[in-house]
Structure 1
């Protein structure tokens, strides 16, 4: 069943309304008709089964049939700090990270990042990535749309980690070893924690970046004996945390 997000003010009693770009998507792309059903989320853990009452040029009116509290978010809040890769890789990372439960995604310009974005390009890219995050959240049935931040420098990213009061900071690094230590860190995760996952770009981390992150409280860890691509490492890390924390 199709899933859409609406603002809280677009829900009132037994009726709701969908506005914006989703209107065209419902009418022209999905070719839905009055009487068909869909799900909407107005923020938080409540979702609503609705029936289309009317499709107009700039709105879709809904009848609310049923509301239910359904938690689809992980019991931990994971922010993925992704070393800025080439554009198509970042789009894949955003999409899959949202599907795996990331609460936020922060692109980070690191020493070995191939891509460099000026302010105008960064804003355009962030808008595109946020749209991908929204589409992925709809597809995955998420309760919220994760934030995709504007790209930060490495030092700005470390400051954000500190400012958010992050309780567990993980940094997969190809020069680390000891899967037992990795498993121990994952098993230490507790519900309600804020977790940061820092991933290097295509060229990997500079040693000075790893040292700076460790001084900030990051744990450098291994994901095995194979060297993973930047678009793989973060998704593996998210999958491991999800598997360790997901509730029945």
Structure 2
């Protein structure tokens, strides 16, 4: 069943109707070639799902009637925030796409000491984040997420540390850490402590890795450096590797 996201103002629960607008109209009519009476799945981005029937399709909108509604069962019980050192080129596109598929909740681009990418001004930042948010939306549709992960405007390392204080656990894969991995951290926790973890922060450096001063600041703020093993991972693969481990140990990856 094809899935689309809408905002709350497009949903009329009294009339039991939903109106789809903008780019999805063309996608429904021209690309997917859906027609009246076809059934689609709609999500409001805050974990509510609606099974709907297409009533009419025109140039500007698609009118749907709500057949059934329910809470989404697609979201993990744990929230995960990715603090990603801003990478070069289109690497961020891949990072956003794959971490969205795996269940990330928020992605925060972080300007670190070894970040090469520079934004011209605030408008340039906003334009880039808008593009990244669209990538998250498309990945959320494909993976049938109940929410669309939020892509933040870039933060400084200090600002990101302050943000991370909302998390119960923060981990930082670091190439010079060779005696403690994610498994050892999890094994050191009691079952009660594991269950109390509702939000995890994952810290990933840019192409050049973390500056030693950043690692020191991280440790001072209860962000734990860990090893991912003997091989060095690229910035665009490290994030969804550790996210997979977190979702397996604390979330819902792998089932019951």
- Whether these two folds match at TM > 0.5 is yes
CA contact 2:170–2:224 (8 Å) conserved in 1: yes
Q: Which consecutive residues of structure 1, in runs of 5 or more, have no partner in the other structure?
A: none
1:142 aligns with 2:145: yes
Which runs of at least 4 in structure 1 moved beyond 4 Å after TM superposition?
none
* Residue of structure 1 equivalent to 2:6: 6
**In 2, Cα distance between equivalents of 1:235 and 1:43:** 22
* Residue of structure 1 equivalent to 2:246: 241
Q: Which consecutive residues of structure 2, in runs of 5 or more, have no partner in the other structure?
A: none
**In 2, Cα distance between equivalents of 1:217 and 1:18:** 45
**In 1, Cα distance between equivalents of 2:4 and 2:105:** 18
Q: Residue 234 and residue 19 in structure 1: after superposition, are their counterparts in 2 closer, same or farther (change >3 A)?
A: same
Q: Residue 191 and residue 60 in structure 1: after superposition, are their counterparts in 2 closer, same or farther (change >3 A)?
A: farther
* Residue of structure 2 equivalent to 1:83: 85
1:100 aligns with 2:105: no
Moved more, 196-205 or 120-129: 120-129
* Residue of structure 1 equivalent to 2:163: 160
SS at the partner of 1:131? helix
* Residue of structure 2 equivalent to 1:17: 19
Q: Residue 28 and residue 45 in structure 1: after superposition, are their counterparts in 2 closer, same or farther (change >3 A)?
A: same
**In 1, Cα distance between equivalents of 2:98 and 2:153:** 18
* Residue of structure 1 equivalent to 2:204: 199
TM-aligned CA deviation for residue 204 of structure 1: 0.5
* Residue of structure 2 equivalent to 1:33: 35
**In 2, Cα distance between equivalents of 1:39 and 1:210:** 44
TM-aligned CA deviation for residue 19 of structure 1: 1.8
Q: TM-score, normalised by structure 1?
A: 0.93
Q: Residue 129 and residue 206 in structure 1: after superposition, are their counterparts in 2 closer, same or farther (change >3 A)?
A: same
Q: How many residues align?
A: 245
TM-aligned CA deviation for residue 16 of structure 1: 1.5
